[in-house]
Amino acid sequence: MGASSSSVNELPENEYLKKLSGRERISENDPFWNQLLSFSFNTPTNRLLQSTRVQSHISWIAELKLLEEAAISVCKSLVENNPRTGNLTALIKVFLSRTKELKISAECQNHLFIWQTHNALFIICCLLKVLICQMSEEELQVHFTYEEKTPGSYGSECEDLMEELLCCLIQLIVEIPLLDITYSISLEAVTTFVVFLSCQLFHKEILRESIIHKYLMRGRCLPYTSRLVKTLLYNFIRQERSPPPGTHVFQPESDGGGLLYGIASGVATGLWTVFTLGGVGSKRAPQQEESSPLANQSLLLLLVLANLTDAPDTPNPYRQAIMSFKNTQDSTALPSPNPHTFQINFNSLYTTLCEQQNSDQATLLLYILLHQNSNVRTYMLARTDMENLVLPILEILYHVEERNSHHVYMALIILLILTEDDGFNRSIHEVILKNITWYSERVLTEISLGSLLILVVIRTIQYNMTRTRDKYLHTNCLAALANMSAQFRSLHQYAAQRIISLFSLLSKKHNKVLEQATQSLRSSLASDDSPLPDYAQDLNVIEEVIRMMLEIINSCLTNSLHHNPNLVYALLYKRDLFEQFRTHPSFQDVMQNIDLVISFFSSRIEQAGAELSVERVLEIIKQGAVALPKDRLRKFPELKFKYVEEEQPEEFFIPYVWSLVYNSAVALYWSPQDIQLFTMDSG
């Protein structure tokens, strides 16, 4: 085998890997390492690039499964022998020594040195992934040390080496310039960092105390916090494509090199292809086929770091950095008491966020920034091109049946946060859109952003009523509409119709539940043995929703009646719907204004004669809106709902983030049966 290995399934028998995992101790200065890290290999990538896209994706997944099996085989031997040989420790030290020269190697275009260093990191990453999957952090520490005199004792050196490797990964990410020849090692560093943190995947409970977390939140890693977060954000912003084949790989002069040249190049370029095609178990939009693997991995790592639980004595510094960074163009920004704050170009960040909302992770980042970073929120709400951000969010909600529930929730909460601002609620009705091609229920040649937002939210409510029946989704949709209601302006006639249509649907549902409750009561009276179904809760829920809809309509009529003739027209057209609620004790108060508006405008239209055109009716409504004394409408408290994060949000966000990681290219390294944090169905 040796240098002639030609496929992944031959790796367990490869002489170099067998020596690495065997019983013989290998010195850090042994020529073996150069042989191990300079191996030519007939990579799956060659076949990948020559085959069709679908075939290549399936083939590459199969190759990576074989690679995982090979890594497990090697690790089984390594776990048994490493406490005596310390070969993993030696490999890590070889990698650490090489990273000290990476900067100058990049400047000198030393392809071979960079690629060998990459190969060392790749082996470490593969081995680390298997070790973390199979053992606790305490057991992992055992494999990060070797003490020749007392092989059974493990002191501080193991902790230091683990921390040194973590710190080295951070330094590599933040300090090595991103060039064609360094792209692969930068990507591998980010990937290895994610793998280092993957111990959470193999625990059902949220990790609140972790050795890895401790290293990241204090000690040698802590001073790099802001630089790491900033670099990961810029990687996301820049969306650098992987270099063309041949520009980032050291080409050997002969076939006689060592094992990991080929594997590393094959996995690196192959992983880029897998990124491009979409990970296992994930739904990828067509636009993502050209995405940047480094940007994607950097964003995933950033989300993992942001959602680490606080240490007992200190808050998560990475979350603090995300909460406090500022705009580079804001010269008036006051010094922050947060030691981890930094500045970044908000315009570039905004542009990228707008372009990348087809992915769950970009939407989650947008949510985190809007919810936790007041500087970002203020900047975004001041933008005059909010349609660039809002339209992708609306499209997520519009295609609700194609999205996972978490993505839909994040999109909806983003809208709720935005609608907390009155300026946003006013401005969206001033933005006129033309030809919204993805909205298929009706041709919308011209509509305001505000009216479109109303249409999509109402559609989401109706979808939820007939499919998922999620009260949380209902509540947030209605809260967003309520926040906007006082600022409704020039509602599109179709938006006005859909508001009343939703009320009609709720009214029918109310009557149906009421009828079922009545019939059930009669049946129970006729038969003492039959159990009485509990319809009270269903009736209570639907009456809460009906009241909220009435309050939304009332808020619009009270605050902006003269701006919304189409809503008044829709009210008059369906005025019979509201008759049954006039005397209902739960709705009497909020029905007063609606009943007054219906009566006032009905009277004026009747006085104008019969067989009036739509245009004439709208003209009468506009004239009547001016004539109606405002003091006749009863004032109610302003409808304002503020998003409040659930208690212990980590119980939701940590599994969600790791499900995103799993569904990325890195997921191909993990066997589904090993995952404990979430079920594969929920992931």
Q: What is the spatial distance between Cα 318 and Cα 229, in angstroms, rounded to a whole number? A: 7
Q: What is the spatial distance between Cα 217 and Cα 225, in angstroms, rounded to a whole number? A: 9
N- to C-terminal Cα separation, the chain: 40
314 DSSP 8-state letter: B
The alpha carbon torsion through 235, 236, 241, 243 (nearest 10 deg) reads 20
Q: What is the spatial distance between Cα 36 and Cα 22, in angstroms, rounded to a whole number? A: 14
pLDDT at 64: 62
Beta-bridged to residue 327, according to DSSP, are 344
Q: What is the spatial distance between Cα 534 and Cα 543, in angstroms, rounded to a whole number? A: 15
Concatenating the DSSP letter of every residue in 507-566 gives HHHHHHHHHHHHHHHHHHHH-SSS-----HHHHHHHHHHHHHHHHHHHHHHHHHGGG-HH
The alpha carbon torsion through 557, 562, 566, 571 (nearest 10 deg) reads 30
Within 10 angstroms of residue 276's Cβ, the number of other Cβ atoms is 19
Q: CA-based angle 292:297:301, to the nearest 5?
A: 150
pLDDT by 10-residue block (mean), the chain, 683 residues: 49 81 90 80 36 46 67 84 90 92 85 88 89 88 69 51 94 93 92 92 87 89 96 96 66 41 37 29 39 90 95 89 92 72 95 95 97 96 96 95 90 96 96 94 94 97 83 89 96 96 92 82 62 70 91 94 94 92 89 93 88 90 89 87 84 90 65 67 42
Q: Which amino acid is at 659?
A: S
CB 119 within 8 A of CB 260: yes
Helix axes 183-196, 156-175, angle to 10 degrees: 140
pLDDT at 253: 41
- The stretches of 26-110 forming alpha helices (DSSP H) are 32-36, 44-50, 53-85, 87-99, 102-107
Within 10 angstroms of residue 672's Cβ, the number of other Cβ atoms is 12
Rounded to the nearest 5°, which phi and psi values hold at 584?
-70, 125
pLDDT at 50: 36
pLDDT at 373: 96
Concatenating the DSSP letter of every residue in 349-384 gives HHHHHHHTTTSHHHHHHHHHHHHH-HHHHHHHHT-S
Of the candidates 122, 113, 105, 108, which has an alpha carbon nearest to the alpha carbon of residue 34?
Answer: 113
CB 191 within 8 A of CB 121: no
Helix axes 360-372, 374-381, angle to 10 degrees: 100
574 DSSP 8-state letter: T
Per-residue tokens: 556: 């619009």
Q: What is the spatial distance between Cα 259 and Cα 39, in angstroms, rounded to a whole number? A: 3
